[in-house]
Structure 1
Amino acid sequence: MKILITDIHHGNGGGHVTYVMSLLKGLKDDADLTIAAPPTGRLYRYAAGLPGVRVLPGLYTSRPLSLFSEVRLLRRFLKQERFDIIHVNGGADHRHIMLASLGLRHRPAIVWTKHNTNPVSSLGHRLRAKFGTHISIAVCDYVARMLSESNYRRHPIHVVRNGIDIDSLRPVTASVKHDCRQQLFGTLSDAVVVLRSIGGTDYNKGWLVLAEAISRLDPDCRSRFRMVVAGDPPSQEMLDKVALLGLQNQLVFPGLVKDVRTVLAACDIGFVLSYREAASYASCETMAMGLPALVSDAGGLPENVRDGLDGWVVPAGDVDALVRLLNQVSADPSCLSEMGQSARTRVEQVFSTPSFLEGTKKVYEQARDLVRKLPAPI
């Protein structure tokens, strides 16, 4: 099967990079793969290091003159290459692929993955649903429900949950954990509970809500917690907020980390307290490392974590709920080990990479068969 995968991100790319790289690594031995993504993005750089994958610059701008030129070149490329599947992952690349493929005699099947919880009611979405989509992939049930209530319901919608590399992401020994904690904090008592986020420093990620909750604890309890927030460095405004909470000595920002294991290994709990979220690699990567996950009830997050078993689900933005939970953890930290084991099992059963790849392959095959049955374009 000949497959083109597109993505729009110029910078870090977050979960999109993990998603597409999982596909490329898992399918490169069984399919003819090409990826077209902005050359300034992390995805382009990472994919370029994979043998057996063709990596091309893909630009998806919205300025009329640039858009026309890009679509014209893309149409010529699609005519030449005759892809079986084009897998789009954003709005702009989806638009370009729709326009470039209209009326092609050899029509590729277009598969779109919706990674977020943004609305799908705009004119652009209605056009892409009608003219540029054969099958939609939702990364969680929450997103699937959104699609089923939109114009995308006219075509098949499949839930394919993200795949986590459970071979590389696994619990670490006590000595490794101790060393990683030392690197982040210096000398730190084993009794201190370290909470971490690898989802970034955007306000939407809710980490400042957790910081406020820690600041409200009584002094003895507050001293038993530390926070790690990995991702793009925080703004000065954010740092000022941390200082006002009196947590500047209890919160570490390691920046963008190449290997999340070095951060996860130092921690006791992972948190994703977003106000908006779909599937969240970060919560599942936490759980794969044998750590309980603390998540908000936003979007698809409650689908990842069974409250009280693999971690906790709290209302988004609810500081009081977090204060109560932190007091409980401080009073009984022994619960973390059992919950972490349950979290690891949860990921193995529901979010394995083989299941993710098998589900995506089935979508590709169905999309290809659907297109073959369509009448030829005039």
Structure 2
Amino acid sequence: MARSRNVRGGLRSWCVLMAKKILITDIHHGNGGGHVTYILNLLHGLKGRYDLTLAAPPTGRLYKHAQAIEGIRVLPGLYTSRPLALIVEVRRLRRFLKHERFDVVHVNGGADHRHVMFARLGLRHRPAIVWTKHNTNAVSSFGHRLRAALGTDISIAASEFVGQQLLASSYSRKPIHVIRNGISPAFFCSVDPKERYQARQALFGPVPDDAVVFGSTGGTDLDKGWMLLLQAASTLPVELRERIRVVVAGDPPSERVMAQVRGLGLEERQVVFPGLVADVRGILSACDVGFVLSYREASSYACCEAMAMGLPALVSNAGGLPENLREGIDGWVVPVGNVQALAQRLRAILDESPAALTAKGASARARVEALFSTRSFLERTEQVYRAACQNV
């Protein structure tokens, strides 16, 4: 991966202090999506090299999966906004920080960032606070301005788009580093035709030889834009529409959303919702094209995982998504929310030969290897931890 850019200039030189003891916090009670994947990758990659503690809600996927990682201390962390609960939680956190004397606290949301900021105030041993911005939400509120002034030593942006958001905000007074998500090409790899055939049979049953399977593992929230793909497919002539298959992994859609799907007139076996899956490779193995058509997106693990599996990616031009690929080489970029433009792109994809799609998929995989390596992700994050110690 190319060296991540510091949007304020170069990285500071290594600090004399070495970050040895790190607390990572998160706010998610449920699945958490790519946000949780990011933290799990950090824990797996840094374990054994640092004294790592995770403090996250015990009802979340992150808490459950982190407990299975050997050498990681996992504690329940609550970050409530209600005033009385907030005071109790901050006091408890302050005692914890005072006792544990962490070198770095890596916060990943707004509520945990706020709690850590308040808990650190006035401590004799002040841990450095590193904040990762995982989304494209605005950063102009009073809360953000307060956290930028009192509770942030370095910010990490998941994409150049997010980095520019931070640069135009109060966070620009401290260093900002763009560090792209880490993907393991050894874990996510292309499959042979036999495996693809078996994966398709498992999801869809018999599939026409000229079918094109579009897959998304980014979740079933409508903000992810998967309904747009179905709407675009429904506008195509019958002979083209019948060649399309779609799989969307994530929480099962509500009955109201399923009624919308049925109203589009697509055949029942054309669109499959396998639910939450432990290993997305089983889904992506069946696909010809990965897609993420979000209305808002900072970067997208789902997009990069599909590309690492040797699939060209179809993405919207929302946030940092277009940074993941090169138009016409690794995949395609369409205007966000534009069903007509998406339908035109579907026509063009259906016209491409299997060899052309395979070539784009190979290019997409090479792109991930170059820009989204796990090794670079971890090395760059470690550099930020060490630099943060100097900024306290």
The TM-score, its normalising length taken from structure 1, stands at: 0.97
Aligned residues: 371
1:132 maps onto 2:134 in alignment: no
1:109 maps onto 2:167 in alignment: no
Distance apart, 1:248 and its partner CA:
4.4
RMSD: 0.8
- 1:374 maps to none
Q: Which has the higher contact order (CA 8 A, sep 6+)?
A: 2
Sequence identity (%):
63
Residues 317-340 of structure 1 deviation map (CA, whole Å, 9 limit, x = unaligned): 111111111111222233210100
Matches within 5 A, 1:201-350: 201-249=220-268, 250-334=270-354, 335-350=356-371
* Letter of the structure 2 residue corresponding to residue 274 of structure 1: S
SS in 2 for 1:40: coil
1:94 maps onto 2:122 in alignment: no
Matches within 5 A, 1:39-118: 39-118=58-137
Query: Aligned partners of 1:320 and 1:63: how far apart in 2?
Result: 45
Distance apart, 1:200 and its partner CA:
1.2
Query: Aligned partners of 1:176 and 1:314: how far apart in 2?
Result: 30
SS in 2 for 1:112: strand
* Letter of the structure 2 residue corresponding to residue 293 of structure 1: A
Residues 86-135 of structure 1 deviation map (CA, whole Å, 9 limit, x = unaligned): 00000000000000000100000000000000010111101000000000
- 2:29 maps to 10
Residue pair 1:34, 1:55 contacting (<8 A) in 2 also: yes
Residue pair 1:242, 1:248 contacting (<8 A) in 2 also: no
Structure 2 residues without counterparts, runs of 5 or longer:
1-19
- 1:170 maps to 189
Query: Aligned partners of 1:313 and 1:213: how far apart in 2?
Result: 15
Query: Aligned partners of 2:391 and 2:231: how far apart in 1?
Result: 52
**Ranges of 4+ aligned residues in structure 1 off by more than 3 Å:** none
Residues 262-312 of structure 1 deviation map (CA, whole Å, 9 limit, x = unaligned): 000000101000110001000000000000000000000000011100000
- 2:205 maps to 186
SS in 1 for 2:42: helix
Residue pair 1:15, 1:281 contacting (<8 A) in 2 also: yes
Query: Aligned partners of 1:95 and 1:248: how far apart in 2?
Result: 48
Matches within 5 A, 1:3-42: 3-42=22-61
- 1:359 maps to 380
Query: Aligned partners of 1:349 and 1:368: how far apart in 2?
Result: 29
Query: Aligned partners of 1:158 and 1:331: how far apart in 2?
Result: 41
Distance apart, 1:197 and its partner CA:
0.9
- 1:375 maps to none
* Letter of the structure 2 residue corresponding to residue 281 of structure 1: Y
SS in 2 for 1:180: helix
The TM-score, its normalising length taken from structure 2, stands at: 0.94
SS in 1 for 2:73: strand
* Letter of the structure 1 residue corresponding to residue 254 of structure 2: S
From the superposition, tell whether residues 125 and 268 of structure 1 become closer, same or farther in structure 2 (CA, over 3 Å).
Answer: same
SS in 1 for 2:333: strand
Residue pair 1:272, 1:294 contacting (<8 A) in 2 also: yes
Query: Aligned partners of 2:228 and 2:254: how far apart in 1?
Result: 16
- 2:14 maps to none
Residues 184-212 of structure 1 deviation map (CA, whole Å, 9 limit, x = unaligned): 01111232110011111111111111101
Residues 68-95 of structure 1 deviation map (CA, whole Å, 9 limit, x = unaligned): 1000010000000000000000000000
Query: Aligned partners of 1:23 and 1:332: how far apart in 2?
Result: 39
* Letter of the structure 2 residue corresponding to residue 135 of structure 1: I
Residues 230-260 of structure 1 deviation map (CA, whole Å, 9 limit, x = unaligned): 1011111211111111124211000111100
Structure 1 residues without counterparts, runs of 5 or longer:
372-378
1:147 maps onto 2:173 in alignment: no
Query: Aligned partners of 1:325 and 1:276: how far apart in 2?
Result: 20
SS in 2 for 1:56: strand
Query: Aligned partners of 1:174 and 1:146: how far apart in 2?
Result: 43
* Letter of the structure 1 residue corresponding to residue 375 of structure 2: P
